[in-house]
């Protein structure tokens, strides 16, 4: 019954223009479960590249509908990606995954970097409008820039600033214990352990 209701709701939804965030692409082959747990029954698989619709999210799980095979169920959230997001690769060519305006902001920053580098003695090879990254060669060839370090330290936050920041952001404190490592990691970190209070 619940399944029928959701499929009916989907038909109504498809009759209206698609809204950002409701469509998603499966980025890696995903096993579909009947509930938001890997211990629940597996009801199918969806291949990478398939388009699905997302109903809701619960923890690290998202409930999806895969029209091609009429599968409704839960997949791990990281296995799908909002279809409304431009492919991240476009970031390389100057566009931005957060949309046109944010792309402009990014462009503006790159442009300011370009003009700064042409008018100052900063010897960085990265302050250009191009798409060069922080390559291994650049890291290895870099000379320490202590003036930039001082500048960086000027922006450091403090407990006074944090009060307003937390208040506006409605950020609460939670008590959460660290997660146990899996066997492979436990073995490795035991060998590297440095006491943490």
Partner 1 sequence: MNRNCRYSLILVIGLWFGGMGSTTALDFGELVDLGNKLKKIVSDVPVEEEVRIGGNLVSGLLGAAPLVEDPALQQYVNDVGYWVASRSSRSDLPWTFGVIDSDGINAFAAPGGYVVITLGLYNLLQNEAQLAGVLAHEVAHVVRRHHLIALQKSMRREFLTDLTVLAADDKKKGRKLENLVNAGVQLYATGLDREDELDADLRGVVLAARAGYDPFALLDVLTTIDSINPTAEELTVMLNTHPPIADRLNRLAERMDGRLDRFASGRTNPERFRRVALNP
- Which of positions 91-130 make contact with partner 1 (CB under 8 A)? 91-92, 96-98, 101-102, 105-106, 108-110, 112-113, 116, 122-124, 126-127, 130
| Alpha helices by DSSP H, the chain | 2-15, 100-119, 136-141, 146-154, 159-169, 183-192
Q: By C-beta, is 11 or 155 nearer to partner 1?
A: 155
CB–CB of 125/135 below 8 Å? no
- CA atoms 140, 145, 150, 152: torsion sign: negative
Closest approach of Cβ 7 to partner 1, in Å? Answer: 26
Which of 134, 10, 8 is closest to 65 using CA atoms? 10
Q: Does 179 bind partner 1 (CB under 8 A)?
A: yes
Q: Does 160 bind partner 1 (CB under 8 A)?
A: no
Q: By C-beta, is 10 or 86 nearer to partner 1?
A: 86
Q: Does 60 bind partner 1 (CB under 8 A)?
A: yes
Q: Site for partner 1 (CB under 8 A): which residue of 17, 31, 76, 118?
A: 76
Token duo for residue 87: 């492919």
């Amino acid at each position: 019954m619940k399944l029928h209701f959701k499929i009916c709701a989907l038909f109504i939804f498809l009759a209206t223009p698609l809204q950002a965030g409701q469509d998603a692409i499966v980025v890696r082959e995903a096993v579909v479960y009947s509930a938001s747990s890997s211990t629940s029954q597996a009801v199918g698989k969806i291949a990478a590249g398939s388009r699905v619709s997302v109903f809701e999210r619960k923890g690290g799980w998202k409930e999806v509908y895969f029209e091609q095979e009429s599968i409704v169920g839960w997949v791990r959230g990281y296995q799908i990606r909002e279809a409304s997001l431009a492919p991240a690769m476009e970031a390389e060519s100057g566009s931005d995954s957060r949309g046109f305006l944010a792309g402009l902001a990014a462009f503006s920053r790159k442009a300011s970097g370009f003009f700064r580098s042409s008018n100052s003695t900063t010897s960085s090879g990265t302050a250009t409008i191009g798409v060069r990254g922080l390559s291994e060669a650049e890291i290895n060839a870099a000379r320490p820039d202590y003036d930039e370090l001082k500048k960086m330290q000027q922006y450091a936050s403090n407990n006074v600033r944090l009060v307003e920041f937390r208040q506006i952001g409605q950020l609460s404190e939670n008590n959460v214990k660290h997660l146990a490592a899996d066997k492979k990691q436990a073995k490795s970190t035991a060998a590297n352990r440095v006491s943490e209070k």
